[in-house]
Structures are given as structure tokens and as C-alpha cells.
Amino acid sequence: MIDYSSSPSNTEERFFNRDLSWLSFNYRVLLEAADKTVPLYERIKFLAIYSSNLDEFYHVRVASIKSLTSVKRKKLETLGVDPFMLLEKIRQEVEWQSEEFVRIFYKQIKPELAKNKINLILGEPALDVHKGFIERYFEEEVKVYLHPELLRKNKIVHFLRDDALYLVVKLRNKPFKKEETEESELSPKGIRYALIQIPTHYFPRFIHLPKIDSQHYYMMLDDVIRYNLGRILPGYDILATHSIRLTRNADVEIEDEFEGDLVEKIQKSLKKRRTGMPVRFLYDRKMPKSMLKYLRATFEITRLELVPGDSYHQDKDLFGFPNPVGSHLERTPMPPVSLPELDSFPSIFDAIQARNWLLHLPYQSYDYVIKFLNEAADDPSVISIRATQYRVASNSAIVNALARAARKGKKVTVFVELKARFDEAANLASAREMEDAGVNIIYSIPGLKVHAKVAMVTRREGDGKKRYAFLSTGNFNEKTARIYADHGFFTKDSTITTELKELFFHLEDRSYKPPTFTKLMVAQFNMRKTLVALVEREIKHAKEGKAARILLKVNNLEDAGMIDLLYNASQAGVKVDLIIRGVCCLRPQIAGLSDHIRVIRIVDQFLEHARVYVFHNLGENATFLSSADWMTRNLDRRIELAFPISDPKLKEEILQILDIQLHDNVKACELDANVRNIPVPKDEENPIRTQTLLYDLISKGRLLDYNK
């Protein structure tokens, strides 16, 4: 791992670079694949997650940094960034992590598969008993989808599809003279290069070969093609074969559009995403320099885009690696549990009328959210439903409920955020489905992203109206709710629902009077100001010699102003505990700056996704759940929500969960001043693994009994 502790800039010493910090997080994901206590197929899944994460990082973050290389030097100085230096640091770190990935896969995962009678043949000679099958499979299934293309450097502009897999084949015309050997490669007679796209969109990446006794065998689709190249390239001798993959800029740059039809802009931008500028040319590190030089010239690849890799790319395909031997190699399921007390009510509205409810996902069932909207759709007393949509599931039960409500004559308004990166097309499709059913769709506001997760139902009760709301730290997505650790809150609190009504009115009509919020924190209105006041109150208490503490759980901590405020809190003596899954630009445990700040990161079976803010406030523990990370974009350029949890029992549940996470000694890593993952020392006699412990406690209804 690269050590970035010796930075030339004071800014870099005070704030760790965002992108290098993200790479530290992704390396923590990779460490799960190396953990021998994790079930084998769970380890394979973490390899796939690591690869998928890295793809998105290049699509967006590296693409953004690379765009700065064309900015004039004086402008870069005002921005305080050297993109060339940063790209080089990223390259070094990614290359180091890539070597770790290969080591884990080949030295740990592949032998472990073999121990379980699952043999993955990678670049090895096929067994004689399999050769006939490989040839037939190729001829009968694969061959028709292959279209070799001879490369013509400086004559034809060849286009590489974004994230498609290709084989580059070095060929020589037949017949050839014996004296023409590999050494004459620089000026050979008859040497050609061919390009073949691997049709992963038609076939599984892992081909199941005939079983031998109890042994299973798999071969990569890449190698099935390699074994049969002579069948599609007759008249040539195959001299070498190496794989490549090009990643293009996928940042469609639509967040700052202020004019025009945003839907149309997004549709056009999605097309551009497939043809964006190159940001990563991934190539087999065993590739000869002469071949790489030829490819660079042919595809106009610069040094900035070059990234060496393994012989096989697109490792996110490991998500689909088959398991032919049984579930004992997979994780133990933790099916979500119900809330018996909530189930005892005839209607979810009756339950919310009785009291506020808190869901701890994915330990508890997300079905209550779907039930909330389904009941709203069918209840004749319901007048209207308002909701936000950020990332929606395919074939969504949420979308179906909202559409049904509209068809039944209820006023349904849904704010659809089209600018949810990589989910734009899905959100647009679901929006049109709801629109066809009569839902009033409010599309993205240009220049503003709505990231808040909230739904509100208005019912006619007695002589008046009553509002019921569901607010969450996670998306309205029943599929991700099974794997994302979030909190959801049902309430009828009149202040909260009134403020939500005002917010929705403002989103529906920007000329509507700006809302005033007293209970809710809303970005662009009062969130930053309120957070600053809450931190400063802790600082004041610490300076007065009183107990002071800040406990913050977010996905990302990047905003310089808030980090400086946390540094000030530490220097005043405030105890600061941070649970940060991803980006952390704060540098903890630096003498005189952040002595009282501890940062931990938890990576396990579920994705830690909740945002929770707790301020000690002389023992009252002001507690908020939120959709917002502490990033500048979230605090200043989006609509985000943070809502208070005041019910003593519900607040105690949240504090108990956070306390367990802070004491995790199995899956937690503590971040040092250089944001490296330092495993928390394990306690073999008293192991605390947050997610399994929480599932056990919550499923038995004993969360508040823990440690009593």
C-alpha cells in the first residue's frame, strides 16, 4: 500500500484526499475476500463487489480528475489540485491492490474451490475428456456471435465499447519462413492483430464442463474462445492472445443543468455515456510491450489511461459464479423478522396513530413500508400520497402501490430524481409507468438533486385531515432493503408532517414561499446551520468542564468546514466517535489536532448505509436520523432531510445499536491518520460482531436488554 503521510501541502496534511480515502475503503472490501472465517462464496461476492466498486470509481471519479488535466495550470493552482500527481497516486494504489486481488483469487479462493470439488480452469490445458465438449460448445453456441476484426493502425478508427471484454490476437499469415521468429516482431512480415469481442451479454462467463465423478469443472468463456481461435481465423498462425477492456467517462454531467427539458438532456446523456472519453485501458500485464504500443497507437490511448491487470478482466462477473455443491459454502441467511406489536394492529395507520415506530433494516421486514403504501392505495379515507423516489427496484412493489392509488382516484404526487447516477434509465421508466397510471410526476429540478427519502399520506379523519409519514435513511427500494443497514421511521407527529407538507409544496412549486423548519433539518434551508450550532454547543460544554460528546455515523465525511469544526471540538476536549463506511477526509489521532477523534469502519454481510447524528447535550442525547452524508454536495447542493428521534425507547434503541458498533471487535477497522484500515484487536472470549449480534438481539426482541 502506498503511504501518503508525507504531503507537501498543509491542506493535504489537514484533510486526507477524498479519492485516496475511497480507495482505502474499497481495499477494506477486498480484505473480506481474504478473511478465511468468511464463507467461500461470500468471499467471492466481495471480490465482485470490489471490482464493481472500482469500475464505478473509474467511470466517475477518475473521469472527473482526468478532465482537469486539460485545465490551465494557473486555474489548477486556484483549485488547489494537481490532477497529474493525484492520477499517479491513484494508479500506484490501484496497481498494488490489483496485485492483492490476484493473490487472493489465485492463492486462496481457487485452491479453496478445488478443495470443495469445484475446479476452475484458468489458462491451463483442458483435460482430454473436456476437449470435445469445448469444441462442440464453441461450434454450436458461441461461434456465430464472434466477429473478428483485423486492426488497421492509422487507417481505420476502431471503437471499443465501454466495459466490453476483448481478446487481442497476434497473427501471422500462413505459410511463413522459418527464420521469421518472435524476435523479428518489430518489423515482421505477415504479422497482424485481430480484435474479438467476448459475447458476455449472450453467454455466462463461467462455462460448466462435464462433471467427472464428483468433481465439477468450469472454464471461462474467454478461454473457450482462445481454445478455438483457429476455427474463426483460418489461414493464420495464432502467436499470442491477451485481453483488454476500456472504461469510458460515465459522468453525464447533468447535475448543474439549469435550463431546458431535463428528461431530454438525461436521455441524450445516457447515450453519450456509452461513447464517453476513455479513462481506463485495462490490459493483461503479461502483454508484450510491442503489442501494447501497437494498441495504444490504434485506439489513441494515452499513458494516463493505462492500467495493468490480470489475464481476465471484468471480475464483477464473479457475482454470477455458480455454486454446484450446496449452500454450506454460502453465508447463513438472516431473514428479516416481523414486529409482533406492530402486527397486532388491524391497520398500519392504527399503529402509527398509537405511537411512533422505528424499523431497523434489514434485520426487520421492509414489508411494513410496502404495507403502508398498499393500505394507503386501498383506504377510502386516504386523500393524497406524496413521496420521493431516488433509486427504485425493478418491478417495484412501491411503484405498483403508488400507481394503483392513482388509478383509484387518489391524488398521488411523486418527486422522481432522475439524476441518481447509473439509475437514471430505471427511474425514468418507473416514472413513466406511474405517469401512465395518473400519478403526478415531478421530475428532477435542474441544478438540484433531491436525495431525501420520505413518503406522506393524508387521510380524512372525523371533521379534519391527519397526515402520516415514513422517513428513512435509505431508498424506497425493497430489494436493497434486504442488504442495506438503514433505519426507517413511521410518525404522525404534527410538526414533522406539517413541515414535510411545506417541503413538498416547495418542491412542487418553487415560487411557493420558502418553508421554515423547526424539527426537521433540511439541506439548503437550515441543515448546515443547525449542525454547526449542535457541534458548537458541545464545544461550549467541553470548555465549561462539562461532559461533551459527538457520535456520528455516515457513509462519507468530506466537507472541509464540518471537519474543521470536528477538529475544533477535539481540541476543546469533546469526545468524537465516528463510524464512517466510505470516504473519510478527516485525519484522526493527530497530536494537537484530532487527539479525541476515533474513526472506525465496519464492512460485513450487510452494507452499512444509515446516517445517524448524536450530540450529548448534557445527557439528553439529541439524536437525528438522516439521508445526508457530511459532504459539501449533500449539505449545500441537495435536498436532504434529518429528523429527530425524541421517543425515549426509540432513541435508546439507536444508541444501543451505535454502542454495539463502536465495540465491534470482529469486523471493525480503526482508521489511522493516513486513513489505513487497522483491524480492531479481537477478543476471542467476548467477540462482538455487530451484524450477527444485532440480528440475534432484534429477532428475539432483546435489543434493549443487551448488557443489562
Structural domain that includes position 193:
118-320
Residues 535 and 654 in one domain: yes
Task: For residues 374-383, give the mean pLDDT.
Answer: 96
Residues 98 and 125 in one domain: no
Give the residue from 91, 116, 141 where a domain finishes.
116
Give the residue from 320, 353, 370 where a domain finishes.
320
- Report which of 242, 244, 220 is spatially closest to residue 313, judged by C-alpha positions: 244
Residues 460 and 529 in one domain: no
State yes or no: pLDDT of 182 exceeds 80: no
Cell numbers at 19, concatenated: 479519492
**Residue 23 domain-assigned?**
yes
Distance CA 707, CA 662 (A): 14
- The whole-number pLDDT of residue 13 equals 81
Q: What's the number of CA atoms in the CB half-sphere (13 Å) around residue 609? A: 20
Residue type present at position 241: T
Residues 379 and 527 in one domain: no
> Which of 368 and 274 is assigned the larger pLDDT?
368
- The whole-number pLDDT of residue 449 equals 79
Neighbours of 211 (CB within 10 A): 11
Q: What's the chain's average pLDDT? A: 89
**Residue 499 domain-assigned?**
yes
Distance CA 250, CA 253 (A): 9
CA torsion angle 90 96 97 101 (round to 10): 150
Asked whether 469 and 386 are in contact (CB, 8 A), the reply is no
CATH number at residue 33: 1.20.58.310
Task: For residues 89-114, give the mean pLDDT.
Answer: 96
Dihedrals phi, psi of 439, to nearest 5 degrees: -75, 135
State yes or no: pLDDT of 9 exceeds 70: no
- The whole-number pLDDT of residue 79 equals 67
Beta bridge partners of 455: 387, 470
Buried b (16+ CB within 10 A) or exposed e, 330-350: eeeebebeebeebeeeeebbe
- Report which of 489, 455, 444 is spatially closest to residue 610, judged by C-alpha positions: 489
Distance CA 50, CA 105 (A): 12
Dihedrals phi, psi of 119, to nearest 5 degrees: -105, 115
Angle made by CA atoms 690, 693, 696, in degrees to the nearest 5: 145
Beta bridge partners of 580: 554
Residues 86 and 179 in one domain: no
- The whole-number pLDDT of residue 476 equals 87
pLDDT band at 264 (very low <50, low <70, confident <90, very high): low
- Which stretches within 479-549 are classed as H helix? 494-508, 527-543
β-pairing, 440-443 vs 449-450, is: unpaired
**Residue 15 domain-assigned?**
yes
Task: For residues 255-284, give the mean pLDDT.
Answer: 62
Dihedrals phi, psi of 492, to nearest 5 degrees: -115, 10
Dihedrals phi, psi of 689, to nearest 5 degrees: -110, 110
Dihedrals phi, psi of 156, to nearest 5 degrees: -125, 135
- The whole-number pLDDT of residue 265 equals 52
Distance CA 96, CA 316 (A): 19
pLDDT band at 707 (very low <50, low <70, confident <90, very high): confident
**What percent of the chain clears pLDDT 70, i.e. is strictly above it?**
90
11 by DSSP, 3-state: which?
Answer: helix
Asked whether 472 and 454 are in contact (CB, 8 A), the reply is yes
State yes or no: pLDDT of 123 exceeds 90: no
- Which stretches within 320-364 are classed as H helix? 340-343, 348-354
- The whole-number pLDDT of residue 678 equals 96
**Residue 328 domain-assigned?**
no
Asked whether 299 and 161 are in contact (CB, 8 A), the reply is no
Peptide bond preceding 175 in cis form (omega within 30 of 0): yes
Beta bridge partners of 644: 624
pLDDT band at 561 (very low <50, low <70, confident <90, very high): very high
- The whole-number pLDDT of residue 395 equals 83
Task: For residues 246-253, give the mean pLDDT.
Answer: 75
Neighbours of 261 (CB within 10 A): 12
- The whole-number pLDDT of residue 70 equals 80
- The whole-number pLDDT of residue 183 equals 40
Dihedrals phi, psi of 241, to nearest 5 degrees: -140, 130
Distance CA 229, CA 245 (A): 19
State yes or no: pLDDT of 3 exceeds 70: no
Dihedrals phi, psi of 657, to nearest 5 degrees: -65, -45
pLDDT band at 6 (very low <50, low <70, confident <90, very high): very low
Give the residue from 515, 549, 570 where a domain finishes.
515
Dump pLDDT digits (tens) for 624-660: 999 999 999 999 988 899 999 999 999 999 999 999 9
450 by DSSP, 3-state: which?
Answer: strand
E strand spans, 278-381: 278-284, 306-309, 357-361
Angle made by CA atoms 679, 614, 582, in degrees to the nearest 5: 40
- The whole-number pLDDT of residue 343 equals 96
**Residue 334 domain-assigned?**
no
What stretch of H or E contains 422? none
Q: Given its phi and psi angles, is residue 132 left (phi above 0), alpha (psi -120 to 50 degrees) or beta?
A: alpha
Distance CA 208, CA 133 (A): 10
Residues 101 and 127 in one domain: no
State yes or no: pLDDT of 594 exceeds 50: yes
- What is the C-alpha radius of gyration for the chain, rounded to an integer number of angstroms? 28
Angle made by CA atoms 85, 86, 90, in degrees to the nearest 5: 120
Residues 615 and 636 in one domain: yes
Cell numbers at 226, concatenated: 482462445
State yes or no: pLDDT of 46 exceeds 90: yes
What stretch of H or E contains 12? helix 10-14
- Report which of 473, 408, 476 is spatially closest to residue 437, judged by C-alpha positions: 408
Residue type present at position 175: P
CATH number at residue 679: 3.30.870.10
Dump pLDDT digits (tens) for 523-542: 999 999 999 999 999 999 99
- Report which of 340, 478, 349 is spatially closest to residue 401, judged by C-alpha positions: 478
**Residue 335 domain-assigned?**
no
Give the list of residues 6+ apart from residue 321 with CB closer than 8 angstroms, or none. Answer: 41, 44, 48, 206
pTM of the model: 0.91
- Report which of 453, 455, 459, 457 is spatially closest to residue 470, judged by C-alpha positions: 455
Q: Which residues does the annotation mark as catalytic?
A: 451
Number of domains making up the chain: 4
- The whole-number pLDDT of residue 11 equals 44
**Residue 658 domain-assigned?**
yes
DSSP 335: -
pLDDT band at 272 (very low <50, low <70, confident <90, very high): low
Task: For residues 590-599, give the mean pLDDT.
Answer: 96
Residues 626 and 533 in one domain: yes
Asked whether 490 and 375 are in contact (CB, 8 A), the reply is no
- The whole-number pLDDT of residue 422 equals 57
**Residue 331 domain-assigned?**
no
Residues 500 and 548 in one domain: no
Distance CA 233, CA 180 (A): 20
pLDDT band at 275 (very low <50, low <70, confident <90, very high): low
Residue type present at position 24: S
State yes or no: pLDDT of 184 exceeds 60: no
- Report which of 391, 362, 385 is spatially closest to residue 438, judged by C-alpha positions: 385
Task: For residues 11-33, give the mean pLDDT.
Answer: 91
Residues 107 and 123 in one domain: no
Distance CA 669, CA 603 (A): 9
- Report which of 17, 15, 29 is spatially closest to residue 608, judged by C-alpha positions: 29
State yes or no: pLDDT of 577 exceeds 70: yes
Distance CA 122, CA 225 (A): 13
State yes or no: pLDDT of 681 exceeds 70: yes
CATH number at residue 268: 3.30.1840.10
Beta bridge partners of 614: 551, 623
DSSP 364: B
pLDDT band at 7 (very low <50, low <70, confident <90, very high): very low
State yes or no: pLDDT of 690 exceeds 80: yes
Asked whether 454 and 470 are in contact (CB, 8 A), the reply is yes
pLDDT band at 514 (very low <50, low <70, confident <90, very high): confident
State yes or no: pLDDT of 478 exceeds 80: yes
Residues 137 and 51 in one domain: no
Residues 528 and 499 in one domain: no
Dihedral sign of CA atoms 565, 571, 575, 581 in order: positive
